[in-house]
Every structure is written in structure tokens, then in C-alpha cells.
Amino acid sequence: MPVLKNIGYLATCKDKGEQDDIHTIGQAAIAWEGDTIKWVGEEASIPDQYVRGKIYDANGKMVIPGLVDCHTHLAFGGWRPDEFEMRVRGESYLDIAQAGGGILSTVKATREATENELFEKASGFLEEIAKQGVTAVECKSGYGLSLKHELKTLRVYKRLEEESPLHIAPTFLGAHTIPPEYKENREAYIELLIDEMIPAVAESELADFCDIFTEESAFNIEESRKILLAAKVAGLIPKLHADQLTSCGGAELAAEVEAASADHLEKVSEQGIKDMAKAGVVGVTLPLASLYTQEEPLNCRKLVDGGVDVAVATDFNPGSAPTYDLPLAMMLTCNQGRLTPAEALKGATVYAAKAIKRNHKIGSIEPGKSADFAVIDAPDPNFWMYHYKGANCVTSYVSGQKIA
């Protein structure tokens, strides 16, 4: 049975207590068998039966659960660096989208890409992502916007799940925006989503979740409700891009349809916070998207104080968040979202696992869970977030295997 010993500071991130309660142990050790954690505790009290296998040394550093990036748009064709310059010069994300750029320009490039090209590109991203100590990634489709191209993207995620050591949670985002061929007939695309695409995706078993971009400029509340209820009937779990650019009742709808999470939330209303807390919907903050779109940063404090579990993710995509640096997103959640480093850590581990309904398996270091952890070159979360220096993950383990 392998053991990781000499852990100076272990944050187990058990899903108990408040957001800042990360359940730490000093001078700790972890023992696992195969892909499953068997024992966690103070090194001095490790039972003999657990010290017979390979011994790894954490050299007194901090160990955390493998980080979970619970919101990415990982597979896409092309890039949009020109839009970055336009936004820096003062054009808004919405103006660029309305002029035919934005999501639709990535739709064009993604439709033109082969399944293999998308796989190779996304697989390269995953290798880099793993170096940060991330061990699970949620991946959305949404740049195909036809059954054929959405299934193509979802098959890429299936192959990543099979070939990469990381855990992958796939999400269907056919309701990302109205595709160009339905520009004059949005009702017909919504019908297509409900009558054909959602049932076919559910049947293919290539996605666990159905996400939607709920926004007056994409799908309004009534349309979103219809689509998400159809997804639920088909067996897909709802998720929402909610209240990002305008306050339009996205958080309230997330609670109504019992979504796993409502993400973005820069413009969430007081009522939305109350409804999410009551329904147990995880709030996913995406500070890199707020930063790149020059939106007001999210005040996460209000959500946490209102009783919502707040997860932190990158939103990695070629438009609003073209970076997959999850520790940077955590640092911004502290500096701009006003969560403490411990709260941000719980948000990027067990609450992120909750946002993808995998918290029974991943997100915390406890017996019975997947042996996923990262050794970080910092003495504790405060120092890590304060003296931020990008990738300082020394090694990580996924399903009991050392990967980086």
C-alpha cells in the first residue's frame, strides 16, 4: 500500500462546516490502495499495516486534494486574440459578439476542425492543466451548435476520459447561442434542441449535464426554463451560465430547476442568492472571465455569507477566459471576490466537485475517495495565495498514480 508521508500541512477539505473550514492536519500521512484512499491522519499514528508499500516523501510541504476545474470549454477550434485587443481598446464583449465575432467565430472554427484535431489540441491543454495540480476537469461542448458537431466535441471528451489520467465531467452546451443558420428563426433552434439534440445526447451517454447561457442576448428565462426542463426529463442534470452580463433571474431559475450549479453570477440578485442557498445550488465564480471581459468582479462574500457554497473555476475558453490557470483564479477570488485563501481552496476542491456532482468520489482527502492530491510548494494556503508565483505544484497523484 503506497504512503505519502512527511506532509507539513494537510488540508483534507472535507465537506463539513463552513466554507473556510478546510480540516487541516499537521505532520500528516496518507495511505492508499489502488485508486482509493485507505487512511489519513497524523504520521505518528499511522497503523503498521499501511507502511509496507512504496513510500513517497512530501518533504514537509503542503498537500491538498487534487484541484477540480468545474467549468471549462476545453475543446474548440481557433483562437480570438484580435478580440482581446478590441476589448482592451474599449469595445465590450457583447458588442463584439453582436458584430459576428465572439462565440460564433469559434463555432465556425470548431465546425471546420476534425475530431482528431480537436482531440490533439484539448489533450495538450490537459497536460498543461495537470501540471498545476488539477486532477479533474469539467468540459463543455457548445461550439458545434448542431447535433453532428456537438457530438463530435463530446466524443473528444469521452476519448480524453479514456486516454488521460485526469477525471473528466462532460457537459452538453448546445444552448450556448443561436447558430447563424437559425438567426432569423430562433424558435426552430430551440425546438431542435428540445426535440432532437437533447434526447440524442442523453441517449449517447456522452454528457452528464446540460448547460445553457441564460442572458437576454442568448436564451431568455422562459426559453431557458423550457430547455432545462426538457434536459431533466431526458436525464441530464441542469447547469446555467447565469447573471453574467445582466441580472435576469438566472440564479432564481437555477434554484427552480434544481441545477447542480449556477456559474458567473456577477449580477446575481439578493433574491437569487436566497433561492440558491435554499435549493443547495453551488455558485461557481469565474474571476478570470470577469477580468478579461472587464466586468465588475464578483463579490463572493455576499454569496458565502448568504449560505451558498462557492466554487472557483477558470471558464477556460478562447473568448472570455483564454487561460486555464486555476491557482490564478483562486488568487483573484481572494483579492477581488473577498474570500480567504482557505475559502478559495475549498471552492476549488470539494465544492467544485459538488458543482459536478462528483463529491462522493473526489474533492477531498478522506478514506474511500479517489487518491487524488497535489503537493504544493508553500507552507499553507495563506502563503500560497499571498506570494503568488504561478505553477508551484511539485507533484500530483491521480487515482493513486503519480503524474507530475
Q: Does residue 320 have a known ligand-binding role?
A: yes
3-class DSSP state of 29: strand
* Sites of contact with ligand NIG (CB under 6 A): 73, 102-103, 106, 213, 241, 244, 289, 315, 317-320
Q: Which does 171 bind (CB under 5 to 8 A by kind): Fe ion, ligand NIG, none?
A: none
Contact between residue 55 and residue 5 where contact means Cβ atoms under 8 Å apart = yes
For residues 297 and 400, which CB has a smaller minimum distance to ligand NIG in the complex?
Answer: 297
Query: Is there a contact between 17 and 11 (Cβ–Cβ < 8 Å)?
Result: no
Q: How far is the CB of 315 from ligand NIG (least distance, A)?
A: 5
- Reading the block at residue 63, the C-alpha cell is 498537500
80 is in an annotated binding site: yes
Q: Which is nearer to Fe ion, 14 or 73 (CB)?
A: 73
- Residues 312-331 touching Fe ion, rule: CB under 5 A, are 315
Determine if residue 319 is labeled as part of a ligand binding site.
Answer: yes
Report CA torsion sign: 332, 333, 339, 345. Answer: negative
Provide the mask over 276-315, with x wherever binding to Fe ion is found by CB under 5 A and - wherever it is not: ---------------------------------------x
> Contact at 8 Å (CB) between 207 and 233?
no
Partner that binds at residue 244, options ligand NIG, Fe ion, none, CB closer than 5 to 8 Å by kind = ligand NIG
Closer to ligand NIG by Cβ: residue 95 or 195: 95
On whether the CB atoms of residues 106 and 78 are closer than 8 A, the answer is yes
By CB under 5 A, the count of residues binding Fe ion is 1
Helix, strand, coil shares of the chain as percentages rounded to 5? Answer: 40, 25, 40
Residue nearer to ligand NIG on the CB measure, 145 or 330: 145
The CB-nearest residue to Fe ion is 315
Q: What single-letter DSSP state applies at residue 363?
A: S
**CA–CA distance, 212 with 190 (Å, rounded to integer):** 12
User: Is 244 annotated as belonging to a binding site?
Assistant: yes
315 a known binding residue?
yes
Annotated binding residue at 87?
A: no
Sorted by sequence, the CB contacts under 8 Å of residue 315 that are 6+ apart come out as 71, 72, 73, 263, 264, 286, 288, 289, 321
Q: Which three cell numbers stand for residue 145?
A: 451548435
Least distance in angstroms from the C-beta of 237 to ligand NIG: 18
**Residues tagged in the binding site annotation for N-formimidoyl-L-glutamate:** 143, 317, 319
